[in-house]
Amino acid sequence: MFSLSLQFVLGLMYANAGEWLMHKYILHGLGKNRHSFWAYHWHEHHAVCFKNAMLDPGYQSLKLTDWNTQTKELAVLAGIVALHVPLFILFPFFTATVYASLLLYYYKHRKAHLDRDWAKRHLRWHYEHHLGNSDANWCVTWPWFDYLMGTRIKSKAFE
């Protein structure tokens, strides 16, 4: 069994890599197809954020009866949680770290789209993804994997 500290570090890296991969290849790759389930990200979320300078009013309140960007995102996150349940038996600290990362992702992503000044200060890479280069800066929680993959592109317009 992996040590707890190794499980923690691997869980953080795995979650960040998953965030990058999901955002780049699923939410943007498949999401640009209007007939895809993932179209909500590109055709709803990005369009609204561009129109409202980063703000997405769909995050203001949570109504599970509304099938909007926020509830679709929560459904995807719940699916990720469910997929990782079997890993909890073998690697409990790794899995708990992934779950904590998902919660942190949701908190930061939601806050960024409710408070643009907070996003500009604390999630500059995500702010720049929405208002600068939407084909870069795929990470939300931390830009680690963007740096690793060479996709953290700072926008001169926001300096």
For residue 64, what is the enclosing H or E element? none
pLDDT score at 156: 75
Burial 105-117 (b: 16+ CB within 10 A, else e): bbebbbebbeebe
Instruction: Using pLDDT thresholds of 50, 70 and 90, give the confidence band for residue 134.
Output: very high
87-102 pLDDT per residue, tens: 999 999 999 999 999 9
pLDDT score at 68: 79
Is the pLDDT confidence value at 159 over 70? no
Share of the chain above pLDDT 90, in %: 82
33-85 pLDDT per residue, tens: 999 989 989 999 999 999 999 999 988 887 777 787 888 899 999 999 999 99
Rounded distance between C-alpha atoms, residue 2 and residue 119, angstroms: 36
pLDDT score at 158: 67
Task: Write down the domain spans for the chain.
Answer: 4-158
